[in-house]
């Protein structure tokens, strides 16, 4: 490959003396002026942290798992399907042949997802794992689209195919019967759901990676519970249950531990050495476990007041998270499922796994438009899933929640909506109008002169 001089045409002959050899890319030297930097003092925005270890580029110990083995997977998959479909003993164990067929179809689709879907932003423990997560998200979205065209009675009957104990009306339960602030009442309110609250907010902190974002979301969810008590009685809680147990105890504890974990992962040194380069059983076991930790870590700085795009992104993300939090409460109420039903728990765990790469893709799409030309597949599909859940809930809710929206709730949400629109108009619109007027005046003066 030759490099042409600027004063020559593309068709001019080029002599050997005119050829300029490309300069090799030099990696930054480790440390500051040759002095090593401790990991807890490292600033990962500085060039001295940009060196990529050799084993990160070429990890020969796990090279086999990153080679394309699609034909091998196809052979083993077809062999397994043939064995299950043609062996009578296997079919007799599963009495319902249709259920076995559905499981086989789901497994086949997930195998296709694992070997054919595009990679996402995460590569640990393996890109194939996150491709399977995307496949599960797509299956759930297709199931929601199917349920969207069914009535509520038919949907309840279909759920018995997954669990025969379903399709039984649930008693309404309220948590605001005895709201005296006593130690006995608070002790009785501490149950397994408090642990679930803390774990849930630990996961949200790991997803959003922003302390104040989590606080805003936590308070907004409590206001949403106040607003929807007329439809879901289990949202009716004592004031101290809302603000002391939920916000100040469970939500804060989960958020605090999650943010501290994010800060540790942000400054943690990431050195990927293969099993062949590690000596000792303990070192090899530590390397195997580290495969399930992040490959690297990106700190999120949403900067909701920095520009209108960032403000709109933060508000949209807040609305989507609130919808994703409220949807399971409505679905379990409409489909008559207990809060601790395995389907509800699996749905929450699945949303957590899908949200991890989705929010990462959204952050890169907003803050690095040159690298991310289009919105990522994880965030696109998760947004479609949450909105489809809203459509299903809206359709099935007709005639189920007869209590009208209280007037004070209407006024509260109207004022909140006005403030959400008024703030960007004052913060971004007014300065933009001023700049436009100044520019217009300058152009008029220039024309007059």
Please give the average per-residue pLDDT across 162-178, as a whole number: 82
Least confident of 60-74, 111-125, 130-144, 315-329: 60-74
Using only the alpha carbons of the chain, give its radius of gyration: 28
Asked, for residue 324, whether it belongs to a domain, the answer is yes
Q: How many domains are contained in the chain?
A: 2
Do 200 and 330 fall within a single domain?
yes
Q: What is the pLDDT of residue 390?
A: 95
Please tell me the distance from the alpha carbon of residue 404 to that of residue 37, in angstroms, as a whole number: 63
Give the count of alpha carbons within 13 A of 315, CB side only.
14
Asked, for residue 442, whether it belongs to a domain, the answer is no
Q: What is the pLDDT of residue 33?
A: 60
Asked, for residue 76, whether it belongs to a domain, the answer is no
- CB-count exposure of residue 253 (10 Å: 0-12, 13-18, 19+): middle
How do residues 377-423 score in pLDDT, each as one tens digit?
999 999 999 999 999 999 999 988 888 888 999 999 999 999 999 99
The token pair that represents 279 in the structure block:
């000596």
pLDDT score of 61 more than 50: no
User: Per-residue confidence at 13, pLDDT binned at 50, 70, 90?
Assistant: very low
Q: What is the pLDDT of residue 359?
A: 94
How do residues 41-51 score in pLDDT, each as one tens digit?
555 555 544 44
Asked, for residue 326, whether it belongs to a domain, the answer is yes
Run of H or E including 426? none
Least confident of 94-108, 308-322, 334-348, 404-418: 94-108
Do 41 and 178 fall within a single domain?
no
Asked, for residue 47, whether it belongs to a domain, the answer is yes
Please give the average per-residue pLDDT across 327-348, as a whole number: 92
Q: What is the pLDDT of residue 11?
A: 39
pLDDT score of 268 more than 80: no
Q: What is the pLDDT of residue 276?
A: 61
Q: To the nearest whole percent, how much of the chain has pLDDT over 70? A: 79
pLDDT score of 25 more than 60: no
Q: What phi and psi values does residue 237 have, to the nearest 5 degrees?
A: -130, 165
Please tell me the distance from the alpha carbon of residue 106 to that of residue 81, in angstroms, as a whole number: 12
pLDDT score of 27 more than 60: no
Q: What phi and psi values does residue 32 have, to the nearest 5 degrees?
A: -110, 110
Do 39 and 177 fall within a single domain?
no
Q: Judge contact between 240 and 181, C-beta under 8 A.
A: yes
Please tell me the distance from the alpha carbon of residue 379 to that of residue 130, in angstroms, as a whole number: 13
Please give the average per-residue pLDDT across 137-159, as a whole number: 94
Asked, for residue 262, whether it belongs to a domain, the answer is yes
Q: Judge contact between 3 and 9, C-beta under 8 A.
A: no
Average pLDDT of the residues of the chain:
81
pTM of the model: 0.78
* Residue numbers of the domain that contains 8: 1-51
Please give the average per-residue pLDDT across 188-202, as a whole number: 87
Quick one: how far is CA 94 from the chain centroid? Answer: 36
Distances (CA, A) of 295 to 3, 121, 270: 38, 11, 7
Q: What phi and psi values does residue 188 have, to the nearest 5 degrees?
A: -70, -25
Asked, for residue 38, whether it belongs to a domain, the answer is yes
Q: What is the DSSP letter of 171?
A: P
Do 257 and 388 fall within a single domain?
yes
The token pair that represents 104 in the structure block:
């086989």
């Amino acid at each position: 490959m030759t490099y042409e001089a600027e004063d020559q045409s593309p068709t001019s002959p080029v002599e050997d003396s005119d050829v300029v050899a490309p300069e090799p890319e030099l990696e930054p030297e480790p440390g500051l002026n040759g002095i090593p930097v401790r990991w807890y003092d490292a600033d990962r925005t500085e060039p001295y942290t940009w060196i990529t270890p050799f084993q990160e580029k070429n990890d020969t110990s796990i090279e086999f798992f990153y080679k394309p083995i699609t034909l091998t997977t196809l052979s083993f998959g077809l062999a397994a399907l043939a064995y299950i479909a043609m062996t009578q003993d296997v079919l007799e164990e599963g009495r319902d042949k249709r259920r076995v067929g559905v499981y086989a179809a789901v497994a086949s689709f997930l195998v296709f997802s694992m070997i054919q879907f595009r990679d996402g932003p995460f590569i640990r423990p393996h890109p194939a794992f996150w491709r399977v997560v995307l496949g599960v998200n797509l299956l759930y979205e297709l199931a929601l689209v199917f349920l969207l065209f069914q009535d509520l009675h038919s949907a309840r009957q279909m759920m018995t195919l997954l669990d025969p104990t379903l399709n039984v009306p649930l008693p309404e339960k309220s948590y605001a019967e005895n709201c005296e602030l006593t130690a006995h009442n608070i002790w009785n309110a501490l149950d397994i759901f408090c642990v679930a609250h803390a774990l849930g907010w630990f996961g949200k902190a790991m997803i959003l990676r922003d302390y104040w974002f989590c606080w805003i979301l936590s308070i907004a969810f409590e206001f949403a519970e106040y607003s929807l008590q007329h439809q879901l009685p289990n949202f009716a809680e004592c004031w101290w249950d809302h603000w002391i147990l939920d916000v100040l105890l469970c939500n804060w504890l989960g958020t605090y531990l999650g943010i501290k974990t994010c800060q540790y992962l942000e400054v943690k040194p990431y050195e990927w050495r293969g099993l062949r380069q590690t000596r000792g059983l303990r070192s090899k076991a530590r390397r195997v476990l580290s495969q399930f930790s992040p490959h690297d870590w990106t700190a999120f700085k949403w900067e909701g007041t920095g520009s209108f795009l960032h403000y709109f992104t933060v508000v949209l993300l807040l609305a989507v998270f609130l919808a994703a939090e409220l949807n399971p409460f409505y679905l379990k109420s409409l489909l008559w499922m207990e809060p601790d039903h395995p389907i509800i728990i699996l749905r929450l765990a699945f949303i957590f796994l899908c949200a991890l790469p989705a929010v990462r893709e959204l952050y890169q799409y907003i803050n690095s438009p040159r690298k991310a030309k289009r919105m990522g597949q994880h965030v696109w599909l998760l947004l479609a899933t949450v909105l489809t859940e809203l459509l299903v809930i809206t359709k099935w809710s007709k005639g189920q929640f007869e209590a009208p929206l209280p007037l004070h709730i209407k006024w509260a949400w109207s004022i909140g909506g006005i403030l959400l629109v008024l703030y960007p108009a004052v913060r971004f619109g007014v300065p933009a109008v001023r700049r436009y007027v100044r520019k217009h005046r300058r152009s008029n003066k220039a024309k007059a002169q």
